């Protein structure tokens, strides 16, 4: 059933409504048809037969094209909230795209090729579908591997009765643990949900986050990085935070699995590989497995903990690092906090020059971007 037929069927079901509601419904339906016909048709801007059409901007608001042009003189136009409420009730089959992040570029390209391949041969269609199926199968396998490692870590925590982070002697317990680590987007201080006028004109202080999550507990240690200590997000900082975590919050496990995303500047580089090898060489671990998620399919445990943290932060008035630590600890039972340093420049978690140290003892592994799993023993 096309859009016009659905609209008229919907209008025919409104005989029991109040007259005002019927008028509003008719207004929404009539101008929805107008809006659909005028603003939803693609322009003929195709570079090739496989290219997706370019749609006009959706910045055109409903007030300018649906209300103000047709409003009776002297009457106040329908508000946006009422319009959206009526739209949801009367036209539930027409929805707007919800905001999304960290989308897979490969999936978008493959889906576009499949969607705009209606007039090509069956062989070409099959090849495009098979290409997307291979990519999704690979993503599913990586996700299954991640889930199996998390399940093994949970079983270890239950059998060993581990409930919280604590300082232990490295490589002292015959257990296997799993950790995931990632950066979060920076926040700015001071922050106030009501945003008083003077706060708007202040130059904010940047604060970064680096999280190491143990899914077996489950808990996450959030390294709170003030801008006075935010040297970079490169490998030196990542290795320094990880090393501090193992020294002060690790369980002393002999074997460990690590998961992170594919960011080459932070994680997937020679220095991170050398650090894992170095820990095994000096006896801090017996074995380490370093696993990289497929780009675009990197939603894992640290993202959920960061989301809880950011939700609590947006609802709280925060001016100092001390207040920020209180917000993080109160955001969820999963989140714990470790300050990297204070506002006055005093450092708690030192950032060492690991790159200069490893360059003296290791040789680079060629073409590391081709691999997603590294095992050291």
- Tell me what pLDDT residue 320 has: 92
CB 328 within 8 A of CB 223: no
Mean pLDDT on 28-57: 48
For residue 220, which of 323, 351, 308 has the smallest C-alpha distance? 308
Over 90: is that where the pLDDT of 46 sits?
no
Query: What would the pLDDT profile of 333-367 be if each residue is shown by its tens digit?
Result: 999 999 999 988 899 999 999 999 999 999 998 98
| Residue % of the chain over a pLDDT of 70 | 76
Distance in angstroms (rounded) separating the CA atoms of residues 146 and 291:
9
Query: What would the pLDDT profile of 53-108 be if each residue is shown by its tens digit?
Result: 444 443 345 555 555 555 555 556 666 677 778 777 777 777 766 666 667 888 88
Chain-centre distance for alpha carbon 70: 42
- Tell me what pLDDT residue 170 has: 92
Highest mean pLDDT among 30-44, 70-84, 148-162, 199-213: 148-162
Distance in angstroms (rounded) separating the CA atoms of residues 253 and 179:
11
Distance in angstroms (rounded) separating the CA atoms of residues 256 and 252:
10
176 — pLDDT class (breaks 50, 70, 90): very high
Can you tell me which residue has the tokens 């959206």?
84
234 — pLDDT class (breaks 50, 70, 90): confident
Average pLDDT, the chain: 81
Query: What would the pLDDT profile of 266-303 be if each residue is shown by its tens digit?
Result: 888 999 999 999 999 999 999 999 999 998 888 899 99
Distance in angstroms (rounded) separating the CA atoms of residues 40 and 36:
5
Mean pLDDT on 186-190: 91
Mean pLDDT on 153-162: 93
What are the phi and psi torsion angles at 169 (to 5°)?
-70, 130
- Tell me what pLDDT residue 52 has: 46
Instruction: Between 268 and 329, name the one with better pLDDT.
Output: 329
Distance in angstroms (rounded) separating the CA atoms of residues 114 and 111:
5
Over 70: is that where the pLDDT of 249 sits?
yes
Determine the angle formed by the axes of helices 19-39 and 3-12, rounding to 10 degrees: 180
Over 80: is that where the pLDDT of 196 sits?
no
- Tell me what pLDDT residue 60 has: 44
CB 338 within 8 A of CB 221: yes
Beta-strand relationship, 287-292 and 373-376? antiparallel
What are the phi and psi torsion angles at 375 (to 5°)?
-125, 130
What are the phi and psi torsion angles at 9 (to 5°)?
-65, -40
Q: Please write down the HEC assignment for all residues of 202-229.
A: CCCEEEEEEEEEECCCCEEEEEEEECCC
Distance in angstroms (rounded) separating the CA atoms of residues 39 and 33:
10
- Tell me what pLDDT residue 38 has: 53
Burial 345-355 (b: 16+ CB within 10 A, else e): eeeebebeebe
CB 53 within 8 A of CB 74: no
For residue 222, which of 200, 206, 201, 245 has the smallest C-alpha distance? 245
Helix (H) or strand (E) holding 375: strand 373-376
Q: Give 350's strand partners.
A: none
Distance in angstroms (rounded) separating the CA atoms of residues 158 and 160:
6
Range from 137-141, 261-265, 306-310 carrying the lowest mean pLDDT:
261-265
- Tell me what pLDDT residue 86 has: 75
- Tell me what pLDDT residue 9 has: 43
Task: Kindly give, in sequence order, each residue whose CB lies less than 8 Å from that of residue 21, ignoring residues fewer than 6 positions away.
Answer: 14
- Tell me what pLDDT residue 16 has: 43
Query: What would the pLDDT profile of 115-156 be if each residue is shown by its tens digit?
Result: 888 788 889 889 989 999 999 999 999 999 999 999 999 999
What's the N-to-C CA distance of the chain in angstroms?
62
Mean pLDDT on 181-199: 85
- Tell me what pLDDT residue 274 has: 95
């Amino acid at each position: 059933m096309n859009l016009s037929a659905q609209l008229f069927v919907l209008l025919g079901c409104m005989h029991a409504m109040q007259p005002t509601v019927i008028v509003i419904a008719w207004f929404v339906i009539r101008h929805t048809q107008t809006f659909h016909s005028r603003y939803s048709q693609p322009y003929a801007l195709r570079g090739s037969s496989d290219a997706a059409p370019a749609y006009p901007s959706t910045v055109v608001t409903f007030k300018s094209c649906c209300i103000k042009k047709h409003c009776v003189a002297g009457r106040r136009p329908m508000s946006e909230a009422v319009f959206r409420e009526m739209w949801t009730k009367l036209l539930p089959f027409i929805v707007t795209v919800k905001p999304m992040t960290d989308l897979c570029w490969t999936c978008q390209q493959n889906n576009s090729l499949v969607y705009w391949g209606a007039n090509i041969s069956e062989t070409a269609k099959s090849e495009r579908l098979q290409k997307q199926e291979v990519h999704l199968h690979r993503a599913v396998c990586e996700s299954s591997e991640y889930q199996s490692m998390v399940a093994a870590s949970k079983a270890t925590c239950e059998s060993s009765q581990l409930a919280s982070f604590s300082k232990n002697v490295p490589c002292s317990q015959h257990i296997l643990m799993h950790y995931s680590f990632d950066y979060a987007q920076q926040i700015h201080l001071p922050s106030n949900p009501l945003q008083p006028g003077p706060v708007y004109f202040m130059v904010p202080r940047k604060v970064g986050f680096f999280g190491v999550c143990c899914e077996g507990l489950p808990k996450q240690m959030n390294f709170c990085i003030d801008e006075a200590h935010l040297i970079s997000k490169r490998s030196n900082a990542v290795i320094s935070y990880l090393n501090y975590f193992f020294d002060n919050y690790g369980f002393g496990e002999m074997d460990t699995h690590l998961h992170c995303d594919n960011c080459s500047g932070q994680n997937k580089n020679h220095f991170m590989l050398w650090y894992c090898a170095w820990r095994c060489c000096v006896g801090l671990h017996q074995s380490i497995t370093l696993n990289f998620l497929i780009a675009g399919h990197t939603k894992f445990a640290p993202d959920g903990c960061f989301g809880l943290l950011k939700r609590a932060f947006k609802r709280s008035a925060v001016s100092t690092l001390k207040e920020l630590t209180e917000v993080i600890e109160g955001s969820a039972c999963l989140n714990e906090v470790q300050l990297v340093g204070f506002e006055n420049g005093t450092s708690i978690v030192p950032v060492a020059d690991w790159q200069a140290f490893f360059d003296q003892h290791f040789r680079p592994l060629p073409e590391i971007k081709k691999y997603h799993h590294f095992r050291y023993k």
